[in-house]
């Protein structure tokens, strides 16, 4: 089963949208396996966003992600990476499809509310970066048989 790292970034936390994001992922059928509310260190932010180092928006991105607490979560399900990216919407909110989180709640790329892993490989690396294995819960949900084929 694929796992993906999901962050409700500081703007989502400040705007009271943690519950909205969780509700949409739950409703989609994804299964929560880990969650923690944390203040991100600059070191973790820089490791997480290392791929963007050198880009014009990099410094702003790091300062954004450490500016207030984030809700970090791991969700799993069949094709969870693609499913969560789809529910989040495109990186640039003005390009995000109606009905997606970024379309429905955001206007600016630097205030786009959420992070979600973009590949199975990155999902595994990001989950390992943000969570210790003992912080992840392996569980069977009562509704699994009605959601997972
Ligand atoms: P993603 O979050 O949809 O995976 P990435 O391209 O990986 O998008 O970029 C990481 C984050 O960096 C974005 O979510 C957004 O917050 C920020 N970002 C990306 N491009 C820009 C930009 O052009 N200006 C400002 N911030 C940006
Ligand atoms: Mg990305």
% residues pLDDT > 90 (the chain): 100
Dist. CA 48 → ligand 2 center (Å) = 10
Which whole number is the average pLDDT over 136-146?
Answer: 98
Q: Which of 21, 55, 57 to mutate to test the pocket of ligand 1 (most atoms within 8 A of CB)?
A: 57
3-state DSSP call for residue 6? strand
Please name which ligand lies nearest the alpha carbon of 58: 1
DSSP 73-103: EEEEETTHHHHHHHHH--SSGGGSPTTSHHH
- Write the residue with the smallest CA distance to atom 9 of ligand 1: 91
Residue 110 near ligand 1, beta carbon < 6 Å: yes
Q: Domains in the chain, please, with CATH?
A: 2-140 (3.30.70.141)
Nearest to 26 by CA among 91, 73, 89: 73
Confidence band (pLDDT; 50, 70, 90) for 20? very high
115 alpha carbon – ligand 2 mean position (Å):
7
Amino acid 140: pLDDT? 97
- The reply to whether ligand 1 has any atom less than 6 angstroms from the CB of 61 is yes
Q: Measured in angstroms, how far is the CA atom of residue 45 from the centroid of ligand 1?
A: 13
**For position 88, what pLDDT does the model report?**
98
The CA distance from 11 to 89, in Å, is 16
Give 53-96 pLDDT, tens digit per residue. Answer: 999 999 999 999 999 999 999 999 999 999 999 999 999 999 99
């Amino acid at each position: 089963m694929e796992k993906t790292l999901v962050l409700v970034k500081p703007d989502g936390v400040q705007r009271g949208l943690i519950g909205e994001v969780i509700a949409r992922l739950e409703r989609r059928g994804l299964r929560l396996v880990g969650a923690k509310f944390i203040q991100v260190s600059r070191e973790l932010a820089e490791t997480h966003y290392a791929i963007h180092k050198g880009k014009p928006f990099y410094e702003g991105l790091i300062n954004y992600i450490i500016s207030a607490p984030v809700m970090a979560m791991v969700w799993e399900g069949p094709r969870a990476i693609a499913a969560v990216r789809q529910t989040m919407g495109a990186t640039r909110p003005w390009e995000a499809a109606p009905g997606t989180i970024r379309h429905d709640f955001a206007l600016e790329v630097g205030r786009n509310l959420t992070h979600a892993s973009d590949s199975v490989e990155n999902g595994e690396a990001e989950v390992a970066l943000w969570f210790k294995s003992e912080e992840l819960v392996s569980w069977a949900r009562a509704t699994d048989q009605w959601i997972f084929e």
